[in-house]
Amino acid sequence: MEKYMKRALELAKKGWGHTNPNPLVGAVIVKNGKIIGEGYHEYFGGPHAEINALKSAVDDVDGATMFVTLEPCSHFGKTPPCSNAIIKSGIKEVYIAMEDPNPMVRGRGIKMLQEAGINVYLGMMEKEAEKLNEIFIKYITTKLPFVILKSAMSIDGKIACYTGDSKWITGEKSRKYVHNIRGRVSAIMVGVNTVIKDNPHLTARIEGYKSPTRIVVDSKGRIPLDSNVINDKSARTIIATTELMSDNIRRKLKERDIDIIELKNSNGRVPLKELMVKLGEQSIDSVLIEGGGTLNWSVLEEAVADKIMFFIAPKIIGGKDAITSVEGKGFSKVMDSINLRDIEIERIEDDILISGYIK
């Protein structure tokens, strides 16, 4: 039976980067041991997975079984309730991987199906479904974006030589992997020093994906007006700043249709926790941090990161003045350092990707 839920999870992944801030959902309809219908949530505002599966059915679904990765919705949103459509279709039983964490839905869709006489089984491949929708779960329950801290470094923890040279530490396949991540999240964030030094475009150069919103943390308004993130209009740019930015720079940025989020400075810096609240209010459900050592430390110090993704290349750069992946003051005691849980290690050609969640 799990093979059908596994298929539904694979279908759900096809919505990556297109459904934010909605969840990734896949659905499979089975009758007489054969798949007769499949669907997934393809884009924000579009039909849900269950509806697409019902529409794709090549046989009568009366008496069939549905496997769906997330509890069917029970309320009117962008689309009508999926639970009603399932009931009307004549499906006799539904396997659901996980309950919907959305307070407007949680348990209601299951109850509707059960009250209609449909057998409901909850929890098949639940952990896999939760990991698939880790962004949605965080955002829908807190209204805060899911934050991924990504860094690419040498085996001795350097992200640049003492000269500032940093191209390229990791291999081409790792860099392509990062562009896939960019295409899945709502926003990518860097510090202004990264913009000054590297002048990046911060786009997702992967076919079929749209580029995320670009966020530059710039407390004093030092961003060069000729930088790519200002003049490349292929993606939206937000400057997160404070009252320390001059009125002149603020005016020039607005003339270039750059959005500004201004917060009260905290020791001369942009308060990241408050920034995440503001981003959540703009329906930004996920942020990929690709900053330098200074921003990375601030992200960890203010405890805004949920997940760590560190790419490690088999290179030794050395040098006490070379830039490390996390700069700042650091912790005074090892016992106070940040620990990770649910560690995963993946090899990408010669590089190693270590992923984990902050305890």
Q: Is 166 annotated to bind ligand?
A: yes
Is residue 205 part of an annotated ligand binding site? yes
> Using CA atoms, how far apart are residues 143 and 94, in angstroms rounded to an integer?
29
Q: Spot the catalytic one: 2, 10, 38, 50.
A: 50
Does the annotation place 82 within a ligand binding site? yes
Nearest to 96 by CA among 75, 118, 115: 118
Q: Is the dihedral of CA 200, 206, 207, 209 positive or negative?
A: negative
What is the distance between the alpha carbons of residues 332 and 334, in angstroms, rounded to a whole number?
7
Q: Give dist(CA 188, CA 192) in Å, integer.
A: 13
Q: How many contiguous H segments (helices) and E segments (strands) does the chain have? A: 12, 16
DSSP assignment string, 239-253: EEEETTS-HHHHHHH
194 among the known binding-site residues?
A: yes
73 appears as a binding residue in the annotation: yes
* Distance (Å, whole) CA 161 – CA 154: 10
Distance between start and end Cα atoms, the chain: 34
Residue 218 to residue 195: CA distance in whole angstroms: 10
- Is 353 annotated among the ligand-binding residues? no
Q: Residue 207: how many CB atoms within 10 A of its CB?
A: 6
292 marked ligand binding residue: yes
Q: Is 152 marked as binding a ligand?
A: yes
Ligand-binding site membership of 293 (annotated): yes
Q: Could you tell me if 52 and 40 are in contact, meaning their C-beta atoms sit under 8 angstroms apart?
A: yes
Name residues whose C-beta falls within 8 Å of residue 359's C-beta, 6 or more positions apart in sequence: 338, 339, 340, 341
170 is in an annotated binding site: no
How far apart, in whole angstroms, are the C-alpha atoms of residue 241 and residue 238?
9
Tell me whether residue 198 is annotated as binding.
yes
Q: How far apart are CA 59 and CA 69, in angstroms?
A: 22
The answer to whether 305 is annotated as binding is no
**Do the annotations mark residue 16 as ligand-binding?**
no
DSSP state of 180: H
Q: Is 298 annotated as a binding residue?
A: yes
Catalytic site includes residue 50: yes
The answer to whether the annotation marks 294 as part of a ligand binding site is yes
Give the residue numbers of the binding site for substrate. Answer: 166, 182, 202, 205, 290
Give the residue numbers of the binding site. Answer: 48, 73, 82, 152, 166, 168, 182, 194, 198, 202, 205, 219, 290, 292-298
Give the residue numbers of the binding site for NADP(+). Answer: 152, 168, 194, 198, 219, 292-298
Give the residue numbers of the binding site for Zn(2+). Answer: 48, 73, 82
Active site members: 50
